[in-house]
């Protein structure tokens, strides 16, 4: 379902959706599209959006997750693509994933069923109130989402 997508036009089109106008932290759709071409970013796309995993340390232990889906991809598509994307990011050698929740955007909260834990309380930033979440590989492997992914994989082998 997910694929590596480095074409800026795909990401720009998703970011240009009117429902996402206030969700790109002040970036234009073209600027969002250019992120997919960066060497420190793994852009994993589904049909209506996807994920940017940005390497945050020089050795590649920690990735920062950014999610961008148009309304057509909200819900089931984002959830199933997220399960696949998180499963794949570990294959790149990452051991932890961080992400930020935006207080003004309820959709920005990562799913606890993936094993994400909140790192602290809200903090004022130039982008509004944010708080950080963390997912370790061990927490992912023990999560409900990983169990679901493993069961689906076993079922497909039957």
CATH number at residue 62: 3.40.630.30
Running DSSP on this structure, what letter comes out for residue 119?
Answer: -
CA neighbours closer than 13 Å in the CB half-sphere of residue 158: 6
**Cα gap 153→122, rounded to integer Å:** 37
Based on the structure, what is the number of domains in the chain?
A: 1
Q: Which two tokens stand for residue 34?
A: 């250019």
Distance, in Å, from the CA atom of 36 to the CA atom of 22, rounded to the nearest integer, reads 20
pLDDT in tens, 89-103: 999 999 999 999 999
Residue 97 · residue 62 · CB < 8 Å: yes
Q: Is a pLDDT exceeding 60 seen at residue 7?
A: yes
Q: What residues contact residue 94 under an 8 Å CB cut-off, 6+ apart?
A: 53, 55, 60, 61, 62, 63, 137
- Sequence length of the chain is 158
How much is the pLDDT for 150? Answer: 77
At 47, is the pLDDT very low, low, confident or very high (cuts 50, 70, 90)? very high
**Percentage, residues of the chain above pLDDT 70:** 94
What is the DSSP code (8-state) at residue 46? Answer: -
Domain extent, residue 103, equals 3-157
* CA separation for the pair 21, 38 (Å, rounded): 23
Q: Say what the pTM is.
A: 0.92
The 10s digit of each residue's pLDDT in 116-157 is: 999 999 999 998 999 999 999 999 999 999 988 777 666 566
**Residue with token string 């932290």:** 25
């Amino acid at each position: 379902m997910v694929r590596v997508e480095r074409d800026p036009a795909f990401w720009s089109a998703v970011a240009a959706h009117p429902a996402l106008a206030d969700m790109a932290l002040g970036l234009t759709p073209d600027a969002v599209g250019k992120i997919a071409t960066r060497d420190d970013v793994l852009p994993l796309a589904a049909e209506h959006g996807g994920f940017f995993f940005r390497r945050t340390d020089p050795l590649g232990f920690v990735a920062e997750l950014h999610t961008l889906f148009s309304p057509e991809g909200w819900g089931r598509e984002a959830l199933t693509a997220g399960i696949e994307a998180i499963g794949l990011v570990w294959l790149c050698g990452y051991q932890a994933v961080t992400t930020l929740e935006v207080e003004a955007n309820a959709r920005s909260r990562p799913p606890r069923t993936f094993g994400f834990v909140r790192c602290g309380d809200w903090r004022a930033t130039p982008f509004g109130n944010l708080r950080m979440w963390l997912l370790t590989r061990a927490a992912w492997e023990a999560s409900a989402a990983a169990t679901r992914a493993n069961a689906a994989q076993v079922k497909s082998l039957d």
